[in-house]
Structure 1
Amino acid sequence: MNGSADSTGPALVVIDMINTYDHADAELLEPSARRVVPVLVDLIGRAREADVPVVYANDNFGLWRSHHGELVDAALSGPHADLIEPIKPDDNSLFVVKARHSIFYETPLSYLLWQLRVRHIVLCGQVTEQCVLYSALDAHIRHLDVTVPQDAVASIHPHLAEAALEMMDRNMGARIVAAKEVDFAPPARSGEADPGPPTR
């Protein structure tokens, strides 16, 4: 990959779904997460079939020695493994460990997306009114296009999630859609010859 500014298509970013659900407000989050997992299974599956990068951006559980394998193993050994197993990373998945709300804060994600020549990210996971919202804002100020499938994000407080989705739409220019509307097709090409990735 040459780091060109030309876009090659979207990346799917799965936020904080590798989770032990032993934190504050987990009892409020778990039912919402349970509703979105089947949607995520389909969304992640379609991204993989389309050869779209799937990036897991996940909290480190406060363990600074943690790496992604340790995080996945910890989540799978917990009481909510059924929420993790269907959506766990495969061998081709990319993984970014984060320590704060935004997927960009003090992580290599910006550089990773630049290497992948990605200018459009699809955000899914949890929590809508926290990490998804802050990540969408950080993506917006980096001039990235953002799509948020509203049925593929879980929340703790539904009324705040609704407000967060409206803020992402109105203030950050994010596309708020149903997961089935997310198109992982490569950028459209015009003419008979292949001119290469379109420029922005």
Structure 2
Amino acid sequence: MPKTALIVIDMITPYDHPDADMLLSSAEKAVPAIGRLIERADVPVIYVNDNFGSWTSNRDSIYQSAINGKAAHLVEPLRPADETMFIMKARHSIFFQTPLEYLLGQLDVTRLVMTGQVTEQCVLYSALDAHIRHHEVVIPKDAVACIHPHLAEAALEMMELNMGAKICTADDVEL
């Protein structure tokens, strides 16, 4: 089996963006599944998180801002452990101008289990970028959160049909 990494996308957030209220109920459903995956992961866990335009931020400042936001109950269960790898991004894709591709090469990872938010945005764009880099992509559909459910369903279908992504549940993911 190819070497796998569990990727957690944009889950450390204060939920203060314009679409946050539409995202919250979906995130509340996804957080337990993401937590279960992290708990049973015997593979590298890598958080790739938006820096919210703050170029002086770091893991701790991003977490502190998020835990002080309006949905601390969604952030606290997913707090990255000190030894967990944490990469900041500025745009939608986890690969766009980040060191992730280099890190995956160093770890000899070719299979990515992608969790997080937003299914129809960052997860979709990241899955495409992973696919064009010849990574195997797995999306646990209960471990991703969306703003627009109909677009999320379309995104999952596109990832499966166009990118060969495996769509399954978190409990069915082989790590």
Shorter-chain TM-score tier: over 0.9
For residues 106 and 24 of structure 2, the distance between their equivalents in structure 1, rounded to whole angstroms, comes to: 34
User: Following TM superposition, by how much is the alpha carbon of 1:45 offset from its aligned partner in structure 2, in angstroms?
Assistant: 0.4
- TM-score, with normalisation over the residues of structure 1? 0.86
User: Following TM superposition, by how much is the alpha carbon of 1:73 offset from its aligned partner in structure 2, in angstroms?
Assistant: 1.0
User: Following TM superposition, by how much is the alpha carbon of 1:163 offset from its aligned partner in structure 2, in angstroms?
Assistant: 0.2
Q: Which residue of 2 aligns with 1:46?
A: 40
Identical-residue share of aligned pairs (%)? 59
Unpaired runs of 5+ residues, structure 1, are: 1-6, 185-200
Q: Which residue of 2 aligns with 1:187?
A: none
Q: Which has the higher helix share?
A: 2
Q: 4+ residue stretches of structure 1 with deviation over 4 A? A: none
For residues 90 and 121 of structure 1, the distance between their equivalents in structure 2, rounded to whole angstroms, comes to: 20
Equivalent residues in 2 for 1:49-198, closer than 5 Å: 50=42, 52-184=43-175
Q: Which residue of 2 aligns with 1:18?
A: 12
For residues 91 and 62 of structure 1, the distance between their equivalents in structure 2, rounded to whole angstroms, comes to: 23
State the AA in 1 paired with 2:28: R
Unpaired runs of 5+ residues, structure 2, are: none
User: Following TM superposition, by how much is the alpha carbon of 1:61 offset from its aligned partner in structure 2, in angstroms?
Assistant: 1.1
Aligned partner of residue 14 in structure 1, secondary structure: strand
Greater CA radius of gyration, 1 or 2?
Answer: 1
User: Following TM superposition, by how much is the alpha carbon of 1:111 offset from its aligned partner in structure 2, in angstroms?
Assistant: 0.2
Aligned partner of residue 75 in structure 1, secondary structure: helix
State the AA in 2 paired with 1:179: A
- TM-score, with normalisation over the residues of structure 2? 0.98
For residues 10 and 115 of structure 2, the distance between their equivalents in structure 1, rounded to whole angstroms, comes to: 9
RMSD across aligned positions (CA)? 1.0
